Amino acid sequence: MRKVLHYLFHTRNHTFIMLHLLLQGLVYAEYTWEVFGYCQELGFSLHYLLLPYLLLVINLVFFTLSCVSNPGTITKANEFSLLQVYEFDEVMFPKNMKCFTCNVRKPARSKHCRVCNRCVHRFDHHCVWVNNCIGAWNARYFLIYLLTLTASAATMAVVSTVFLVQLVVVSDLYLETYVDDLGHLQVIDIVFLIQYLFLTLPRIVFMLGFVVMLSFLLGGYLCFTLYLAATNQTTNEWYRGDRAWCHHCPHVARPPSAEPQVYRNIHSHGLWSNLGEIFLPAAAHCAEKMN
């Protein structure tokens, strides 16, 4: 079991990419096979029904880019150029640090990825779903991939929900009654309706539950990612931020009697500048030319 977990999460492999594509394919197959046809019969606008397919095309483009693009690998050729991009804060990123594995000096905001075995410029995290690091040069691709994936799940959830609600209204199901176990006549409630729909249209209801859950999970992660982008932080920096004042930095550590120190992000320069850094990464083109 330990070997399996190590293979899945600590080595580069395509398992999660295949799982991602399988789940996406199954959801879209069900949407196409049943929901799309039923919605057309009920007179839904074709524009709304085709929106998930448009989002799918965009999503697959940026999913591919996130998988195959260079996240910002630091090499001997681009090392000097990348050292000039960000200021060293001498807390989280002190000067003159070296990665002995890659044999390069470490620019500010970089980190060595143990999974990929390389140092990455403005390292954010290693994503198993794209089998790649997310860094300075592909963060924009990952953000759009995440945005379109969330939007496609939410769109299918809305379309499927509206379809089921309209089906209930058109068939007057909500006006029906049933006899309970005690022989009493009961008005149909929401729980009974859900049970009835699940027994009648199990695949659609199961798909709806899955995309609703996915929408909330992805939506929460998207909000977190947008917050990091707006404040010019990486996931790595956010995780390490509270522990930045530590025994590893004795020259800046506070005395025991002093007021608690809060790590200050010196790289944030306003919302638009921070977002611009994601979509137009500093020194990317210059460093790529040097490779």
Alpha carbons 134 and 148: distance in angstroms, whole number:
17
Determine whether 127 is an active site residue: yes
Q: Coil, strand, or helix at residue 291?
A: coil
Q: Report the Cα 263 to chain-centroid distance in Å.
A: 26
Handedness of CA 252, 258, 263, 266 (dihedral sign): negative
State the pairing for strand pair 118-120/111-113: antiparallel
Per annotation, catalytic residue among 39, 102, 113, 127:
127
Closest to 31 in 3D by CA, of 14, 44, 16: 44
User: Are the beta carbons of 209 and 156 closer than 8 angstroms?
Assistant: no
Q: What single letter denotes the amino acid at residue 156?
A: M
Q: In a 3-state reduction of DSSP, which class is residue 43? A: coil
Give the residue numbers marked as catalytic.
127
